[in-house]
Amino acid sequence: MAVAKKEATSGWEWRMRVDNETLSKVMSPEEGPYMISRVLLGLKERMFSKPLNFLKKAWDLACNDPRKVIHCLKVGLALTAVSLFYYVRPLYDGVGGNAMWAVMTVVVVCENTVGATLSKSLNRICGTFLAGFIAVGVHWVAIQAGEKSEPFIMGVSVFILASAATFSRFIPTIKARFDYGCMIFILTFSFVSVSGYRIDKLFDMARQRLSTVFIGTSLCIIISIIICPIWAGQELHTLITRNMDKLANSLDGCVAEYFISNEEDSTGSQKGCGKNLLGYKCVLNSKAPEESMANIARWEPAHGRFNFRHPWKQYLKMGTEMRGCAYCIEALNGCISSENKAPEHLKTRVSNICLELSSNSSSVIKELASIVKTMKKSSSIDFLAEQMNSRVQGLRNELKFLPSLVTPETPKEAGNVQDSKKTKENSVGLASASLMEIVPLATLTSLLIENAARIEGIVDAVEELADLAQFKPVADDEHIEDETMKTLQRG
C-alpha cells in the first residue's frame, strides 16, 4: 500500500548508477525526451570523449617525460634488429630455428632503466645456465637408472625443484634480487628435462638456448646503455634530492601561511597548505619506488658520478628519515587547518621565532639536498644545524618566559605605575586566552621542535652517506689515515 501510494504521488522513479554512486531521481513522464537526450549524451561521451581524453593523457605523459618515448623506440629498434636473425639467412643458419628465443629474450629483458635490463639479463643468463646444468645432470642420472624409471625420475625432479624454486621466490632477499632468475630456472629446467626425454640432441639444444639468450641480452644491454641511458641510480639520487626540496618548501610554506597570511588578511579564509605546498605528500608515498630503484641500482656499473658499489642502501635510510619528517609536516598541516585559532597577541609573540626556526629548518634540508646533489661535503651544514638547535632552544626559552605573564602579579614587584599597568594588561590579555585557544599554537611549536629533531636524523643519514661514498672535500685527518694505509701496504 505504501509503495503504491508513493508511486502515485511521485510519478516515475528512476534509479541509475552514475560513477559508482547510486542516485535516485524522481521525474515526471514529460521528462522522457530529456532522458533520451541524456542517454545519447552518455553514449557520445563513451564513444568520443573518453578515448579522446585517454589520448590526451597519453600525449601529456609523453610530453612530460620524453625519455619514455625514447625507451619505446629503443624496444622497437632492438626487436627489429633481432628479427634480422630470421631475415638474413646466414645468421639464421648459425643459431638454428631457436632464433625466436632471442626475440623472446629481447621482449622480456628490455626494461626502462639500465639496472633493470642488466638485472634481468644476468638473472636470465644465470638461471638458464644453472638450470641447464642441473637438468643435464639429472638426465644423466635418469638414463643410468634405466628406461623404465626415467620418466618417473624426471617427473619427481621437476616437481621438487619447481616447488623449491617457487618457495625461494617468497624469501625477501631473493625476491628483491633474483626473483626473475628463479622463474627462468624453473622454466629452463622444465624445458630441458622434459625435452630431454624426446630430443636426443640435448647438449645442442642447451648450447643453442644459451647462445640465443646471450645474443638477446647483449643486444638489449648495448642498446640500453648506448642510446639515452636511464640509470636507476641517477633516478633514485634525483628522487631523493627533489623530495628534500619538496619537504623544505612544504615546511617553510605551511608555517609562513599560518603566521604571515593571517597578519596580512584576517578575512578568516579557509586555512591549510596551498596546492604547491603539499609536496611533502610525495615523500609520504615514495617508499615503494625508492626501494625498487635501490634494488635495481645495485646492478648498475659505475656511471656519471657514481661508483659501482655506491651505497644505495643509504638512500633508503635517508628516505625513511625524510618520511619521519613528512609525518610531522602532515600533522602540522592538520593543526594549521584546525578550527581553533590562537589569539592574535600570543601568535605575534612567537611568530618571529617560529618563522625563524622553520626557515632555518628548511634551509638545513635545502643544504642537505645540495650536499647530495653536488656530492660534496658542505662546510656550512654543521653551522646551520647548530643554528637550528639554538633556535629550538630559543623557542623553548620563549615558551618558558611566557607563563611569567600569567602569574598573579604582586604589587611589590612593580617598579613604577606605568610599567605595572602594562604588565597587568599583558597578564589580563593572556589570562583571557583559554588553554583551548593556546592548544593549536602549542601543537605547532611542539611539532616544529619535533621536526627539528627529525631533521637531525636526516643530517646524520646524509653525513653517513658522505662518509660511505667519500664525498669531497675530505677532512684532513682522513687524508693522513689514507696515507698511513698506503705506507703500510708498501711496507
Question: Rounded to an integer, what distance in angstroms lies between the CA atom of residue 288 and that of residue 375?
Answer: 24
Does 307 interact with its own copies (rule: CB under 8 A)?
no
| Residue of the chain from 133, 134, 155, 176 that contacts its own copies (CB under 8 A) | 155
Count Cβ atoms within 10 A of the Cβ of residue 447 and give its class: 0-12 exposed, 13-18 middle, 19 or more buried: buried
Instruction: Return the bridge partners of 27, or none.
Output: 12
Q: Which residue of 403, 411, 415, 418 would you call a contact of its own copies, by CB under 8 A?
A: 403
Residues 194-223 that bind its own copies (CB under 8 A): 194-195, 197-198
- Using CB under 8 A as the binding rule, whether residue 46 contacts its own copies is answered as no
Query: Applying CB under 8 A, which part among 44-52, 73-81, 217-225, 375-383 lies near its own copies?
Result: 73-81
| Residue 442 in contact with its own copies, rule: CB under 8 A | yes
Q: CB nearer to its own copies: give 228 or 406.
A: 406
Cα first-last separation, the chain: 106
Q: How far is the CB of 7 from its own copies (least distance, A)?
A: 6
Q: How many CB atoms lie within 10 A of CB 294?
A: 21
For residues 444 and 342, give the distance between their C-alpha atoms in angstroms, rounded to a whole number. 11
Q: Please, what is the minimum distance in Å from the beta carbon of residue 368 to its own copies?
A: 20
**Which residues, 221 to 280, sit near its own copies by CB under 8 A?**
none
Quote the CA–CA distance of 330 and 324 in Å, as a whole number. Answer: 10
Residue 287 beta carbon to its own copies: minimum distance, rounded to whole angstroms: 6
Told to check if 176 binds its own copies by CB under 8 A, we report no
Does residue 427 bind its own copies (CB under 8 A)? Answer: yes
CA distances from 377 to 287, 317, 371, 382 (A): 26, 18, 6, 11
Report the residue number, 39 or 62, with the smaller CB distance to its own copies: 62
Instruction: Give the closest residue to 317 by CA, choosing from 394, 372, 387.
Output: 372
**9 in contact with its own copies (CB under 8 A):** no
Q: In sequence order, which residues have a C-beta less than 8 Å from that of residue 291 and are 6 or more positions away?
A: 316
Contact present, 333 and 272 (Cβ < 8 Å): yes
Q: Tell the residue number behind the cell numbers 623404465, with chain if given.
A: 148
Cβ proximity of 92 and 208 under 8 Å: no
Comparing CB distances to its own copies, the nearer of 69 and 260 is: 69
C-alpha cell at 163: 616447488
Q: To the nearest whole angstrom, how small is the minimum distance from the Cβ of residue 325 to its own copies?
A: 11
Interface with its own copies (CB under 8 A), residue total: 110
The reply on whether position 114 binds its own copies by CB under 8 A is no
Choose, by CB under 8 A, the member of 16, 52, 73, 141 that binds its own copies.
73
Q: What x-and-dash track marks residues 361-390 binding its own copies by CB under 8 A?
A: ------------------------------
| Residue (48 or 197) nearer to its own copies, CB | 197
Whether 455 contacts 325, CB under 8 Å: yes
> In angstroms, what is the minimal distance from the CB of 264 to its own copies?
25
Region for 265 from its dihedrals, namely left if φ exceeds 0, alpha if ψ lies in -120 to 50, beta otherwise: beta
Tell which one of 46, 305, 396, 422 touches its own copies (CB under 8 A). 396
Question: Does residue number 100 form part of the binding site for its own copies (CB under 8 A)?
Answer: yes
Q: Judged by CB under 8 A, which of 42, 51, 94, 151 binds its own copies?
A: 151
Beta strands 21-27; 12-18: pairing state: antiparallel
